Amino acid sequence: MVRASAVAERAGIPSASLVCEGFLGQAATTAAGLGLPNLPLARLPGHVDAQGADELRRNVLAVTVDGVVENLTTEPPPARVEAEPDPSEIVFRGSVEEVNRHFLEREWSDGLPVVPPTLDRVRACLAFTEQDPDEVLGVLLPDQRQATVWNVAVNGVMAGCRPEYLPVLLAIAEAMADPAYGVEHSGDTTSAEMLVILSGPVVRALRFNAGQGALRDGVQANTTVGRFCRLYQRNVAGFLPGRTDKGTFGTTWRVVLAENDEALARLGWPSIAEERGVPASESAVTVGRYTTEALIGSAFAAEPGRLLAYLADGLVKHVGWEFVFTVSWGGSLRPLLILTPILAEVLARGGLSKADVRRELHRRARLPARQLERYVGEWTNIVPGQPRLVDLVRRGELAAVYGESDDPERLVPIVAEPDDLMIAVSGDPLRTNACTLVSNGMHGYPTTKRIRLPVDWESGLPRSVGTPP
């Protein structure tokens, strides 16, 4: 609504954006990012999804209509735009404690202590890239602020990243700036959180943890790079709690998930980056956004069929309302299944390639059609009118696999195509557990970027930066 109003206002047409009161702060910040900080907004009391027709009508007539009339007939007041400091400007001098207090007061910190981004520390990071510090990697919504090599290094220092992590951070920022990822949805109410999947030789070169505790903090590389993602969304994209960040409950930033390239090579399976066009000799990040994470524990299986049945059951049980993204936004649901090496070996030993596993899971991970219809038309308002899946197929809004019959008890897949399932290999190599993370559709579509490494970069690495588990 706000973006449509911005187009109208720029064309000289008065507008009024109708906004639920819980989103007024987000709308105002988004408008400022669009260059129209005084964009007219009309308040809708409460939340429309929790109001009956009579209550909604009363609220609109009592409050919203007056706001619309005022927006369309009154010139908005001049907007005040605060100038930002130059990238290399020293904005504060003081002790570590004083710097942290200054950053907290200006909402540049996530609440944890930050490493002061001194010029010396930032320049030490820049030694690990051949890219110009002023190079623009893209523009991040909602603040419409440029992602640059310099501000990536600044936020990397603040997060506690080592200088040699900079090429990874630059690839992450580039992925965030890609319109296919949809960074503007990072503050959506579902509290979905970014996950970085790291693939290739840099996993071992920079000692990222791809073994026991792969998704837990405690290893500097995985932890600080994960924290960088949240700081960068805050300080550059502009996601601040209560305004543009509207997560209902919120989730904490995720550490980096590093793929176990040695296990993948032994199995003959490609990494996620390889499946997305990056050669095994190169490194890459794949960035996606996920709402929930759940364990599929203690798999008791020495042959593929039994294991696949359990994994498929786990996928179905742990994918909930996110099914709506199978229907809306072009079938963009992309669940991530993480297998420990020992489970992947059970499947590979049975003659299954990674593509075979996806096909089998697509065939097995199914639920009754009536359940999916409830998710998209009865329990949510994603598709109004409670349509049947066959009707959505006829209208071209759903893949043909969902319209093979009109039997409400028929089993339909959780994703439209086998390739919509993502599979990574990581975690404790001797534990028979799996983990599934549920994607938030186009609110963080998986996006892969190659990591650009400077010539002879490994010669600048320290001898030891800690040993992962």
Domain segments of the chain: what residues? 2-73, 123-365+414-460
| Distance, CA of 154 to chain centre | 21
- Is 198 in a helix, a strand, or coil? strand
Cβ–Cβ < 8 Å for 200, 451: yes
Residue 145: enclosing H or E segment and its boundaries? strand 145-148
DSSP class of 61: I
Q: Among all chains, which residue has been given the structure tokens 């990574």?
A: 424
Q: Please list the pLDDT of the chain residue by residue as tens digits (469 residues).
A: 677 777 777 777 787 778 776 666 666 666 666 666 677 787 878 776 667 777 777 767 777 777 677 777 777 766 565 677 788 889 999 999 999 999 999 999 999 999 999 999 999 999 999 999 999 999 999 888 999 999 999 999 999 999 999 999 999 999 999 999 999 889 888 889 999 999 999 999 999 999 999 999 999 999 999 999 999 999 999 999 888 888 889 888 999 999 999 999 999 999 999 999 999 999 999 999 999 899 999 998 889 999 999 999 999 999 888 887 777 666 789 999 999 999 999 999 999 999 999 999 999 999 999 998 888 888 877 777 778 899 989 988 888 999 999 999 999 999 999 999 999 999 999 999 999 999 988 888 999 999 999 998 888 888 665 556 5
**Main-chain phi, psi angles of 173, to 5 degrees:** -60, -40
**432: amino acid identity, one letter:** T
- Strand ranges for 205-313 from DSSP E: 257-258, 284-296
